[in-house]
Amino acid sequence: MSILPYPTALSRFTHRTAALLLPASCLLCGGDSENELVCAACIAELPQLAEPCCPLCADRTTHGERCGACLKDPPAFSRAFAAYRYDYPLDRIIHALKYGHQLAVADWCAGRLAPLAGHAHFDRILPLPLHAERLRERGFNQSGEIAKALGRRLDLPVDLTSLLRTRATPPQAELPHKERLRNVRGAFECRTDLTGQHLLLIDDVMTTGATANEGARVLKLHGAASVTVAVVARALKD
């Protein structure tokens, strides 16, 4: 596995040390976790994607058919898959990484994604990038940390530099669906020839899929044969 240079406010020592420091107790319940991030009992309670879902965007459908949104406007990515449904208490795990800077969570997330991604062929893994301003504020890209951990598990190259977020945008969570599509339009650039490559694009959470779709669209404009999206959690419509 190779990792291209990646600017971050955290030192290499901090990243390496944080990844090795697993909590002595479960992140969710505080009980004995046998040196795992989350104990077996809490893992059993995590929200599953048990419902039939759209084969493209992984949103809920009645019989596993394509959803209306994907029929009307097919996404640029070939398919999306998620390890879990975005709901309590999984949101606490993701928040621990994203806002609590608990970098060991990234490897835990990669462990949930690896069995889902391991059967397919990919030439490289890319995370959805943060804008430089957001990266400076947070100190790291949570999707980048998950991508690096997944690359180690799957022995795949991780590309942290080809897809760039060149325009700062308001957080998607604050916007209605149509505004989300407009919000990310033109937010990404790619500076690498990806002709014929099959790519795995990583993010922590997918809500409408607008951000992943725009990233995939840009990657395909630069020659990617296919883009598969892998997320830790999928927020499902009511």
Condensed to tens digits (0 to 9), the pLDDT of residues 57-104 reads: 999 999 999 999 999 999 999 999 999 999 999 999 999 999 999 999
- Within a domain: residue 115? yes
- Within a domain: residue 1? no
Total of domains in the chain: 1
CA separation for the pair 219, 222 (Å, rounded): 5
Parent domain of 139: 12-234
- The residues that bridge with 206 in the sheet, in sequence order, are 234
- Within a domain: residue 112? yes
- Within a domain: residue 6? no
CA separation for the pair 161, 163 (Å, rounded): 6
- Within a domain: residue 223? yes
- Within a domain: residue 2? no
Q: What is the mean pLDDT of residues 128-136?
A: 95
CATH of the domain at 128: 3.40.50.2020
Task: Give tens-digit pLDDT for 212-238.
Answer: 999 999 999 999 999 999 999 999 976
- Within a domain: residue 156? yes
- Within a domain: residue 7? no
Q: Look at 118-122, 128-132, 139-143, 157-161 and tell me which has the smallest mean pLDDT.
A: 118-122
Query: Measured between alpha carbons, how far is residue 82 from residues 14, 57, 58, 200 in Å?
Result: 29, 10, 7, 13
